[in-house]
Amino acid sequence: IAGITQAPTSQILAAGRRMTLRCTQDMRHNAMYWYRQDLGLGLRLIHYSNTAGTTGKGEVPDGYSVSRANTDDFPLTLASAVPSQTSVYFCASSDSAGMWDTQYFGPGTRLTVL
C-alpha cells in the first residue's frame, strides 16, 4: 500500500512558468489537502477538498488552483510561478474532515522558483 504519492520529488522552475504538482492516494479517503511549509512559518493550508467534485480555499490560496475530478487525485497548479512560491509542498488526506480524523501526508515536493 503506497498511501500518498507526490510528484515530482523536487523541481527547479523559472519564474512565470506553469507547474502542476501531482498527488495521488490509494486509501479511498474523502478529504484531501495541500499545504506549504516554509522555514519559521510552519505548515499552512493552501486548498482543500472535502470530497470529490468540491474544493475550498485555505489560508494562502493566492496563485494556486486545484481540482478534484475523482477520489484519488488532487493536483495543485501554479499558473505563473513566482519566487515567493519556493517552498516544500505537502499533500495530505483524511478519511473525512471530521474533528478527530488523522491526516496522512505525502513525502512532499521541494519547489524552487528562480
Partner 1 sequence: RKEVEQDPGPFNVPEGATVAFNCTYSNSASQSFFWYRQDCRKEPKLLMSVYSSGNEDGRFTAQLNRASQYISLLIRDSKLSDSATYLCVVNLWRGSTLGRLYFGRGTQLTVWP
Q: Which range binds partner 1 by CB under 8 A, 16-24, 62-70, 79-87, 104-112?
A: 104-112
Q: 3-class SS at 37? A: strand
Which of 50, 86 has the CB closer to partner 1?
A: 50
Taking the complex as a whole, how short is the minimal distance between the CB of residue 94 and partner 1, in angstroms?
Answer: 9
> How far, in Å, CA of 8 to CA of 70, rounded?
20
Q: Is 58 in the site for partner 1 (CB under 8 A)?
A: yes
Q: Is 44 in the site for partner 1 (CB under 8 A)?
A: yes
Cell numbers that stand for 6 in this block: 507526490
Q: Is 9 in the site for partner 1 (CB under 8 A)?
A: no
Taking the complex as a whole, how short is the minimal distance between the CB of residue 12 and partner 1, in angstroms?
Answer: 17
> How far, in Å, CA of 25 to CA of 38, rounded?
24
How is residue 50 annotated by DSSP? S
Which of 16, 107 has the CB closer to partner 1?
A: 107
List all residues 6 or more positions away from 48 whose beta carbon is below 8 Å from its beta carbon. Answer: 31, 32, 33, 34, 55, 56, 58, 97
- Strand ranges inside 29-78, DSSP E: 31-38, 42-49, 56-57, 64-66, 76-78
Binder to partner 1 among 7, 27, 43, 52 (CB under 8 A)? 43
Contact positions toward partner 1, by CB under 8 A?
35, 40-45, 48, 50, 56, 58, 90, 97-100, 102-103, 105-108
